[in-house]
Structure 1
């Protein structure tokens, strides 16, 4: 019969005590409803119990098929048990699934932090256009250590122009990691004196704050990426054997789709990531050039498009395939899409067969 237990360790232990008479054959089934069940799932998997998740859409359809309108915690518990007993689709959760869930979280954190960093950098450029529009012309690479250190100390042309040259030299000539910039304090001050930049104390203050935020995000990103590197080693997936696929891309794709073996074929994996063409047909009308469906994870699609050009660059088989599509008259973006789908077919083959990448298998 349905029963309740507290959402804490003693409650979890009381659950195990209640089902002890059936522990050898017990299956713990629950709906896949966000984060609410994660603690219980981790507890049960750690205890080596057979634990499965059921899509809420499946249980809802089953309820309607039984013509039941009552919905309470007690009736839901019985309904979920009936859904599992009826052999309807469910997904078994393993310790590897928990590891992949962590992978998904780390990968999404990476992409979110990176996106926020880019947003702040765009905001920084906006402020620079107001107070020192000529500043970027002095540097081959934006956001290098000297670039940020100088700007942090002198956030406008006005502040630079009015500063003693000796103080500017201290900042410009300070030791930095990486390649030394070919920039003199004199060049910097002369440019500042000729600048059309406005005198805006609010913009100067905002530039300092933006640099602090960007540097904080970069520290966070370094910590996240270190965790992702460790996860990529622990997962040890064939996906990392593909030339051009790094830790971040590989962990993102594995985390977003969880278990690739749950897909019966590569086409379903392609569709899951929203890389399948959208089909539209009505009467005698049939769309000739359908756009991508783009359902599924935006993080996975972003990683796929970021990864495909390095794959094309480092792997001759993909380079030949991309070139072939371009020669057929496809645009760069369209040819990229074809290459991404080919990459997903390769990933599916490698992961389901658990074999490393070999270029000869594509020929």
Structure 2
């Protein structure tokens, strides 16, 4: 700080702090210099990496990197970085942690299923979700078919009922299936001394992960209650078909300070949904892929929302009939995955409009949009 004060006194202006984004390591420095009253700019590594070959010599050290970042600032292509308020920053951290834990749960469920395929064949025919509450309760007490057959039917029924399974009758049916499957597994399954320990450890990991997710969700609820503007925006996002409670929270957390976006295209680019372009001389690339330079978390959320908005439910119409009609029409000429990207783009525009206008989503047909915009009149 003393050196910065000295430079400020000599030059008569406060220096601008320019730093490269390095995962989470730059955040503490960013906050420190902002609180000290300095203008701070965080450079995307993609931008700073563009100058790595500006010199012919292959030299890589801190002095050279600092010089290149300073040159990048002199080009006037950088703008002052904005950090979302503490509540949104905390919400983003919690949502990303929840997403990571959910991925770990899926991984351990798959691992447990693989173990049971060898140790306890056909167990998944009794419990389709081997990581569910009732299944984990059974596996804690009976990790192998040999141990399960030593338990009485009443003991097994008690284990399943305590786990909260659907009633006594369903529990009795599960016990019958379990014993039948266990008898077959004695002949078909692979036996090894460590089988029980492997299954119990996998179940213990699932218990710990699921408990961690529950604690994260409680922290998210507590944070939302404290911030009325977050509650309002979450409620607005949930009016969009295909976006549920968890998706709306995570989307708002990833967007951060919405006032930074003046046009829908800016939000699209921030999410990494803008098409990359390739053109040189007379050549123009026809296969344009998504830039994918935004948050991978938000793209996964938008993909899920797009699928939910057009997927037909049993004896029900799709959540968003307008997008469903668009999806069916475009699939006649384009691959479904390309059309799904177009749906994500449209959802991004809808999210922008809802947050900009601070009004709930209103389902309108294309003709109604055209009429409101004055493109044509209806007699």
- TM-score under structure 1 normalisation? 0.74
2:163 maps to what in 1? 176
In the alignment, structure 2 segments of 5+ residues that lack a partner are 55-59, 311-317, 370-379
Bigger mean CA offset, 287-296 vs 217-226: 287-296
Q: 2: distance between equivalents of 1:151 and 1:350?
A: 47
2:270 maps to what in 1? 272
CA RMSD of aligned residues (A): 4.3
Give deviations 1:111-157, integer Å, cap 9, x for gaps.
11111111111110110001111111123544332111112211122
Aligned with residue 209 of structure 1, among 201, 209, 214: 201
Map 1:51-90; keep pairs closer than 5 Å. 53=42, 89-90=78-79
Map 1:230-245; keep pairs closer than 5 Å. 230-231=222-223, 234=227, 235=230, 236-237=232-233, 238-245=236-243
Q: 2: distance between equivalents of 1:140 and 1:76?
A: 54
Confirm or deny: 8 A CA contact 1:156 1:197 kept in the other structure.
Answer: no
1:357 CA displacement: 2.4
In the alignment, structure 1 segments of 5+ residues that lack a partner are 5-14, 66-70
Bigger mean CA offset, 209-218 vs 288-297: 288-297
- Equivalenced residues, count: 346
2:117 maps to what in 1? 129
Confirm or deny: 8 A CA contact 2:21 2:42 kept in the other structure.
Answer: no
1:349 CA displacement: 2.7
1:340 CA displacement: 0.6
Q: 1:91 to 1:314 in 2, by over 3 A?
A: farther
Q: 1:118 to 1:247 in 2, by over 3 A?
A: same
Residue aligned with 1:133, SS: coil
Q: 2: distance between equivalents of 1:355 and 1:44?
A: 37
Aligned with residue 295 of structure 1, among 293, 296, 299: 293
Confirm or deny: 8 A CA contact 1:158 1:197 kept in the other structure.
Answer: no
Bigger mean CA offset, 231-240 vs 148-157: 231-240
Map 1:1-363; keep pairs closer than 5 Å. 3-4=2-3, 29-34=17-22, 35-39=24-28, 41-42=30-31, 53=42, 89-93=78-82, 96=85, 98-172=86-160, 174-177=161-164, 179-180=166-167, 182-184=170-172, 185-195=175-185, 196-231=188-223, 234=227, 235=230, 236-237=232-233, 238-280=236-278, 287-312=285-310, 313-326=318-331, 328-360=332-364, 363=369
1:19 CA displacement: 11
- TM-score under structure 2 normalisation? 0.72
Q: 1:217 to 1:243 in 2, by over 3 A?
A: same
Q: 1:76 to 1:302 in 2, by over 3 A?
A: closer
